[in-house]
Amino acid sequence: SWHVTGIDDLPIRDELRGQSPYGAPQLDVPVRLNTNENPYPLPEPLVQRITERVREAARNLNRYPDREAVELRTELAKYLTRSAGHEVGTANVWAANGSNEVLQQLLQTFGGPGRTAIGFEPSYSMHGLIARGTGTAWISGPRGDDFAIDVEASVAAIAGHRPHVVFITSPNNPTGTAVGAGTVRALYEAAQAARPSLVIVDEAYGEFSHHPSLLPLIEGRPNLVVSRTMSKAFGAAGLRLGYLAADPAVVDAVQLVRLPYHLSSVTQATALAALEYTDTLLGYVEQLKAERDRLVTELRAIGCEVSDSDANFVQFGRFEDSHTAWQAILDRGVLVRDNGVPGWLRVSAGTPAENDAFLEAVRAMKKEDR
């Protein structure tokens, strides 16, 4: 391949100059616990069902997909009604290619040039990156020493900055901490008093929480959105299917920016097949929750500091130099994540055997340290 120029020689947007793309290392190591994937492959009967539904879809690939994805949104609404204990209908739900695309559509609609978005960091770094990609100025809000959201400090930050979009990630990535309904209510009130602005609750890891979903809070709060994904609990990261629940007006608003036919027929067919297997897939979630709790307990027993986790991953430390610790664990065949939070690393809950391998690697590292 030929190369006559570099990125910075191209007439790209000024704010992209010198930036790096999002990306966790995709290394070929025996145990990969670095991207919060579900370690369980889809069960074979579901693979068969996907094949059937995709074959049907293939017969119509000369046609554009259902632009409104009505059947899929209806099934997602049923799932949410059942699992979050709050009745939502098709009109409350919107779907896109991963929750990243959902968030991008929300920022294209409610953020953009001359507007601002705030998140409470450390949190999911893509919130800031999607903000930048949509021309929305990013504000890094505070978090408490224990990585919980400090309500008073957050309300003050919202009152001071008057952002157009507020992100609340619960359970939070990479720390694992969840927030209660009271925190969301307080931040929502502050955001409405300041502007009003759109409040996005990113519940990508909602199914793994010890606490119920925050979804019922959308009732009577037209500027509140709950974002979800099939990448984690449904074990379908490769599918790229995210969705949101909100007032139907929000769903109408994102139609203004979504690309026509953004969700392929193949994607819709696959997601519908996976939703038929909800109960089976949520059975794996229960196993992962138990393994997550075991990781917390055993890491503490080894002498690590561990943040309470409501997600399918655990934040552990503290290390004088997290990169050195990351490398020491990798040298023992286990890939975890260095999210750039000084002193801390993050491990995704894997299968029991993978988690054993990880715990053994940490024990060995600790022993060598002494």
Binding site for ligand PMP (CB under 6 A): 36, 98-100, 124, 169, 173, 202, 204, 229, 231, 237, 242
Q: Report the interhelical angle of 44-58 vs 265-276 (nearest 10°).
A: 150
What minimum distance in Å lies between the beta carbon of 268 and ligand PMP? 16
- Left (φ > 0), alpha (ψ -120 to 50) or beta: where does 321 sit? beta
What minimum distance in Å lies between the beta carbon of 153 and ligand PMP? 21
What minimum distance in Å lies between the beta carbon of 158 and ligand PMP? 20
Helix (H, G, I), strand (E, B) or coil at 289: helix
Nearer to ligand PMP, 10 or 27 (CB): 27
Contacts 24+ apart (CB under 8 A), 331-336: 332/360, 332/361, 332/364, 332/365, 333/29, 333/30, 333/31, 333/357, 333/361, 334/29, 334/30, 334/31, 334/33, 334/358, 334/361, 335/25, 335/27, 335/29, 335/31, 335/32, 335/33, 335/34, 336/33, 336/34
Nearer to ligand PMP, 100 or 134 (CB): 100
Nearer to ligand PMP, 168 or 194 (CB): 168
* 168 neighbors 150 (Cβ within 8 angstroms): no
Nearer to ligand PMP, 204 or 325 (CB): 204
What minimum distance in Å lies between the beta carbon of 231 and ligand PMP? 3
Nearer to ligand PMP, 237 or 282 (CB): 237
Nearer to ligand PMP, 237 or 357 (CB): 237
Contacts 24+ apart (CB under 8 A), 337-344: 337/24, 337/33, 337/34, 337/35, 337/174, 339/122, 339/125, 339/174, 340/122, 340/125, 341/122, 341/174, 341/175, 341/315, 343/317, 343/318, 343/319, 344/174, 344/307, 344/315, 344/316, 344/317, 344/318, 344/319
What minimum distance in Å lies between the beta carbon of 41 and ligand PMP? 17
Which residues, in sequence order, are CB contacts of 42 under 8 Å at separation 6+? Answer: 50, 235, 236, 274, 277, 281
Which residue reads 């290619």 in tokens? 97
DSSP line for 66-111: -TT-HHHHHHHHHHHHHHHSS---GGGEEEESHHHHHHHHHHHHH-
Nearer to ligand PMP, 109 or 123 (CB): 123
What minimum distance in Å lies between the beta carbon of 17 and ligand PMP? 26
What minimum distance in Å lies between the beta carbon of 136 and ligand PMP? 17
Nearer to ligand PMP, 205 or 365 (CB): 205
β pairing state of 224-229 and 165-169:
unpaired
Nearer to ligand PMP, 98 or 235 (CB): 98
What minimum distance in Å lies between the beta carbon of 67 and ligand PMP? 21
What minimum distance in Å lies between the beta carbon of 18 and ligand PMP? 24
Closest-approach residue to ligand PMP (CB): 98
